[in-house]
Copies of this chain bind each other. A is one copy, B any other.
Amino acid sequence: MSLVREFSLESWMTQRLSEVEQALDNWVSTQAPAGLAHAAPVELVHAMRYAVLDGGKRLRPLLVLASFEALSPGEKSPGQSAALRAACAVELIHAYSLVHDDMPCMDNDVLRRGKPTVHVQFGQASALLAGDALQALAFEILTPSDGSVAADTQARLCALLSRAAGSSGMAGGQAIDLASVGHALSEQHLREMHQLKTGALIQGSVLMGAACASPSPEALSGLTAYGESMGLAFQVVDDILDVIADAGKLGKTVGKDAQNDKPTYVSLMGLSKSQAYAQELLASALSALEASGLRDTQALSALAGMVVNRGH
């Protein structure tokens, strides 16, 4: 009998997702955080919870946790509480970006994960405020005053998240995206746009997981390269799915990119080259893991495969 247990992504994910959902449910709540006089107003929190607790895939939190666990494979590692907070903080940033992105002045999308978008359900003003409050909440979660996360880890996580979310990251990529509608982009420009828009937060997830442990330079450089390939792969596959998936599975409007005259990998490279490119990026991600010198990378490998070969 082999002592090496087969890694099951499904059972790994089930356990992690349950922790993440529970934590998000606790932290996006009307309860006043410890040490604060005021609880958040109920109406606002309803919109925030609607935006977050909706059965998203939670890819970013899973990447945070998988990255942390590759560096700290034991049970009850010291950074575990920080990693769970980082996982949820990244998801809050992702959730806020979807709320704002769906608004009429942006993509004007009415359907998200099979449900009416936040502004359809609560009105535009509440959607705007809920998104704003979710961004702030991400940094609240990263900076607990209960001693559960070391101050230098808190500072490092805030540094990574703010840069991944801001004008040199996600928000910057969205601005390029906005400016690019109806314009032809070179492959180089398209890649740069996506490196910011989607890649920065996906790579940031991997780096935030690492920041909860103490990576060697070799490990950090491998994880950084893994994160970069994953960020690009995610967007390439997203563009492919916008063309080939059906709306029921995707849970959002299909064909929006073409309708909006948005440049995508598929419009630029064609479908089959885009599919080949996604596989190349998967191979790069896996070889970056090998180069990292880390042994416990099963979850990271499996997540890479899942991202590239997903059907929705």
Contact = CB atoms under 8 A, between A and B. Distances in A.
Could you say how many copies of this chain the assembly holds? 2
Interface in A37-59: 38-41, 43-45, 48
Interface stretch (A7-15, A66-74, A163-171, A295-303): A163-171
B155 A140 contact: no
B125 A140 contact: no
Contact of A128 (B103, B136, B154, B200): B103
A143 interface: yes
Contacts of A241: none
Nearest to A131: B132
A162 to B, nearest CB: 4
Contacts of A45: 167
A158 interface: yes
Interface of A: 32-33, 36, 38-41, 43-45, 48, 96-97, 100, 103, 105-106, 123-126, 128-129, 131-133, 135-140, 142-143, 145, 151-152, 154-156, 158-159, 161-163, 165-169, 171-172, 174-176, 178-179, 192, 195-196, 200
Given A43-B179, A125-B178, A129-B178, A172 B103 contact: no
A36 B139 CA distance: 20
B168 A129 contact: no
A290 B154 CA distance: 35
A205 to B, nearest CB: 16
Contacts of A125: 105-106, 178
Contact of A43 (B145, B161, B175): B175
Contacts of A152: 151-152, 155
A171 B103 CA distance: 18
A36 B105 contact: no
Given A158-B143, A158-B158, A159-B145, A44 B175 contact: yes
Contacts of A175: 40-41, 43-44, 126, 129, 133
